[in-house]
Copies of this chain bind each other. A is one copy, B any other.
Amino acid sequence: MLDSVPKDKTQKVIPNGCTDKEWKVTASEAAKNCKNYIRDIVDNLVLEPNPEKSLIALSIGDPTVYGNLEPPNEVVQAVLEAVTDGKYNGYGPTVGTDESRKAVAKYLSFDGVEYDFKDVILCSGCSSSLDLCITALADSKRGHNIVIPKPGFTIYKTLAESFGVEVRNYNLLPEYDWMIDLAHLEAQIDNNTAAIVVNNPSNPCGSVFTEEHLKDILDIAYKYKVPIIADEIYERLVFSETRFVSIAAVNSRVPVLVCGGLAKRFLVPGWRLGWILFNDPIGAFDSEVRKGLTCLSQKTIGSNSLVQGALPKILELTPQSFYDDLNNTLYQHAKLAYDILAKIDGLTPYMPAGTMYMMIKIEIQCFPQFRTGLELMQRLMEEESVFCLPGECFGISGFMRIVLTVPFDMLKEACERMSAFCIRHYQHYTPYDLESQA
């Protein structure tokens, strides 16, 4: 297609107002401003694995890649039934069918939160939930901005910038379990702030906010009268003693859109079932935003009907043991990686409280051979065939993120290779002034 030449260049062009312009098919600002930040960074890295060693990718946030983690049988069964049934091939309402909305409302009604099915909009994955929420709340024409976590998942930035909406980062504090730097958050907000994006549990940090912290965040939202978009795609994906609390459970007065979906907890990211829930105790979304989101849902017309058909069974029949086993596996993996990595001079792993990720700080001064964390990671790939995502993919330097869903032995092997690599390149760091005094 691309290389073929126009078959007919002879046809006369009839002169008129616009004839003379050549084909200059430009992309819209929306398309040009829509970036894939992870790809942009990764594509610019020189990534050559060591041919002697099998590649271990700790980079891919997809729990299904290695086949070691599988969705519950009940879930597979429910979809098989929906396919066989033949009743779930047609269009549903653009916001989802009543039955599947009811199932989601029920599934997320806990800890005192009560959702009605009318509070639920189904989307094509949580990405599309976030797309709709940001589109509905933020307006480039009014100079709107949204504030998002740093480090954080880049899709918020990708989506907002595509609409011409400014993005401001608020810091997460690694030394305080990646809690939000509340003063910094506050400093980002102004009259044009259309939404605060809160991601809990966090990708890439693996942190899980406490009730108290969530209340503090809500207080700031309340103070400035800014609605919250709560990305809770990792809800209840937490380890051992940690308890997941939805922001909705401690909210009494802030309009919140809670986004989530099946992707992570049910290990089926490809199924593209996401949701938006209205947690709006004061009814601030009633005048415009509910209607707006409902209308915007026409753009994709809900989620796949087979998965919707199966949804009530998926959410009801998945046994608690499945959730427990998954959380336990992820915890074992996290502990394994943490125990190995914590012993490596020059790396500081942060033990996650949930999700499927772990952040690792690179004490770059301990590796004077490398100028940046990015360079270190490229060499780690070159020498050990271990690939981690650089913190830069989440807006932060000097860190890397590893994915904990790879099989246990592979994770162990990867961490051991990282260890060997670091030992090889580590040079005891003596601050310059100390050295010169010596």
Copies of this protein in the assembly total: 2
A422 contacts partner chain B, Cβ-Cβ < 8 Å: no
Contact flag A225-B30 (CB < 8 Å), given A1-B281, A299-B128: no
A375 contacts partner chain B, Cβ-Cβ < 8 Å: no
A171 contacts partner chain B, Cβ-Cβ < 8 Å: no
How many A residues face the partner with a CB closer than 8 A?
119
When the two chains form their complex, are residues A30 and B64 in contact, meaning their CB atoms are under 8 A apart? no
When the two chains form their complex, are residues B92 and A83 in contact, meaning their CB atoms are under 8 A apart? no
The answer for the CA separation of A362 and B141 in the assembled complex, in Å, is 43
Contact flag A28-B292 (CB < 8 Å), given A282-B23, A304-B307: yes
A128 CB contacts on chain B under 8 angstroms: 124, 299-301
Q: Name which of A83, A141, A189 has the most chain B CB atoms within 10 A of its CB.
A: A83
A9 CB contacts on chain B under 8 angstroms: 253
A434 contacts partner chain B, Cβ-Cβ < 8 Å: no
A305 contacts partner chain B, Cβ-Cβ < 8 Å: yes
Contact of A76 among B86, B119, B292 (CB under 8 A): B86
Contact of A91 among B270, B307, B308 (CB under 8 A): B270
Contact of A131 among B7, B227, B299 (CB under 8 A): B299
When the two chains form their complex, are residues B90 and A270 in contact, meaning their CB atoms are under 8 A apart? yes
Contact of A31 among B26, B79, B293 (CB under 8 A): B293
Question: CB-defined interface of A88-120 with B at 8 Å, one 1/0 digit per residue?
Answer: 111110100000000000000000001110010
A19 contacts partner chain B, Cβ-Cβ < 8 Å: yes
Top-6 shortest CB links A-B: A270-B305, A31-B292, A27-B292, A64-B90, A27-B288, A7-B252
Q: B-contacting residues of A (Cβ < 8 Å)?
A: 1-2, 4-9, 11, 13-14, 16-19, 21-32, 34-36, 62-65, 67, 70-71, 76, 79-80, 83-84, 86-92, 94, 114-116, 119, 124-125, 127-128, 131, 135-139, 141, 144, 155, 158-159, 162-164, 189-191, 194, 219, 222-225, 227, 252-253, 255, 267-272, 278-289, 291-293, 295-296, 298-308
Q: A7-B252, A29-B141, A272-B301 are in contact. List 14 more A-B contacts (CB 8 A).
A: A18-B224, A21-B191, A36-B295, A76-B86, A80-B80, A89-B267, A125-B300, A127-B299, A162-B295, A162-B299, A270-B308, A303-B304, A304-B304, A306-B307
